[in-house]
Structure 1
């Protein structure tokens, strides 16, 4: 697209595109909570929908085609993603390296990505009303870590997010696993052991000076107890690395405001 034909994008437009690049999927409501902070709720909603309608019209964003259960409950629940034209616009504006835009994602993938996005939205909203800070929030694939295997070759750890927060004089780094209660206890255990292996490699400690807490964010108390039970069966020296918490307490957990406990149970 020539410069003369390239649509003019405001800084707010670019903010929306950057958020969609960073998190891959966001609902109208999530974008409104991140981007539109002034005015009444009705005004913020109307303005956000107008921005998205314009960006959709010029082809830089698009909504998902399918309805994902109860997610698309009216326009607030419409799920948006970046288009190839949107990627080109970011490349032109920011020098962002282009990446391939995949096909229509499945329901389970969408729900998981939106749950990770929601965690960032909630942290952002919390810090607007407090002295706490979000110093880093890296979603996939930026959150991934590659390291040398003890047996040769390279392994890759794939956290859902890497988060670093400051609360007063305290700073906490966390790897986040957003769990929708769809994985078996055996799968949860394998993921925990992968983190323990990475911790023993010392790679992250050399990178940031410490090993992050591994925070499992789960939908309800029953699932929290299930994940905590898996953690309690890990090697005793590994158990303090992990914490299982519900979505209701996730922000406090990532800020280091929940009490420590053995085996992830509180």
Structure 2
């Protein structure tokens, strides 16, 4: 069949014909873009490679790049004009997103049109950092013989409750994950990611939001426990400062927060448990 151009409207019958061409890996790739909104070719390839479908990371990257290019030709996806790592990195540096037909195919019952405009640099950097955190968590669990059991992104991972005056309060983690160990034990994580753009006072205020939410008992009533809150910062000095600020707060529940300042530290935390 003919493939639609990136600007052509894809009708319902044409979309169904496209859907009939997709296999499990195709749908997994589209599902990752539903969950994370933006992801690089390398991120998508590394996540898919954890399924064991490819003989090597190089093969996963090559095949993923081909599939994404095909999805683009079908009108389901597109990549941003900007690249991660520069033009010399080739197609592996593309940042991918779903186009409107891709959203319709993956979420046929959705009524809200997704944004397709170029994101700001700050928004894109933060979103890609969330995608990278998911990759780190899933890799860590996989390499320790476990698996990623649940993953939720914004806004599905957000919590809400009512304050004393009846006002609606929100807790907005960047990412929620449940990992299962090789022995069947489950660890529940709520992640906050800082790229050095927020005022340090804002980070501490977010910690107070978590403590307030814990004090309501709503999470414990549902799960029987409160998830481990993890901060992933990209600056060791900011991590040290936040750790000290948390230590100085006598009202914080001990152990509520774990502070990590590198992918390696997050990996160790996931593998060793809270």
Task: Give TM-score, length-normalised by structure 2.
Answer: 0.84
Q: Which runs of 5+ in 2 are unaligned?
A: 1-10
- 1:216 match: 231
Aligned-residue RMSD, C-alpha? 2.1
Relative to structure 1, the CA distance from residue 138 to residue 255 in structure 2 (aligned partners, 3 Å threshold; closer, same or farther) is farther
1:146 counterpart (117, 142, 160): 160
Q: Offset of 1:184 from its aligned partner?
A: 1.6
1:85 counterpart (101, 106, 127): 101
List aligned pairs for 1:1-266, cutoff 5 A.
1-3=11-13, 6-7=17-18, 8-36=21-49, 37-67=53-83, 70=85, 73-92=89-108, 97-102=110-115, 103-167=117-181, 168=183, 170-247=185-262, 248-257=264-273
Q: Offset of 1:57 from its aligned partner?
A: 0.7
Relative to structure 1, the CA distance from residue 249 to residue 99 in structure 2 (aligned partners, 3 Å threshold; closer, same or farther) is farther
Q: Offset of 1:252 from its aligned partner?
A: 2.4
Relative to structure 1, the CA distance from residue 250 to residue 193 in structure 2 (aligned partners, 3 Å threshold; closer, same or farther) is same
Q: Which runs of 5+ in 1 are unaligned?
A: 259-266
Secondary structure of 1:234's partner?
coil
Check conservation: 1:176, 1:216, Cα contact below 8 A.
yes
Q: Offset of 1:99 from its aligned partner?
A: 3.7
Check conservation: 1:165, 1:255, Cα contact below 8 A.
no
Task: Give TM-score, length-normalised by structure 1.
Answer: 0.87
Displaced runs of 4+ in structure 1, greater than 6 A? none
Check conservation: 1:112, 1:180, Cα contact below 8 A.
yes
Check conservation: 2:233, 2:239, Cα contact below 8 A.
yes
Q: State the distance in 2 between where 1:4 and 1:109 align.
A: 33
Check conservation: 1:175, 1:212, Cα contact below 8 A.
yes
- Number of corresponding residues: 254
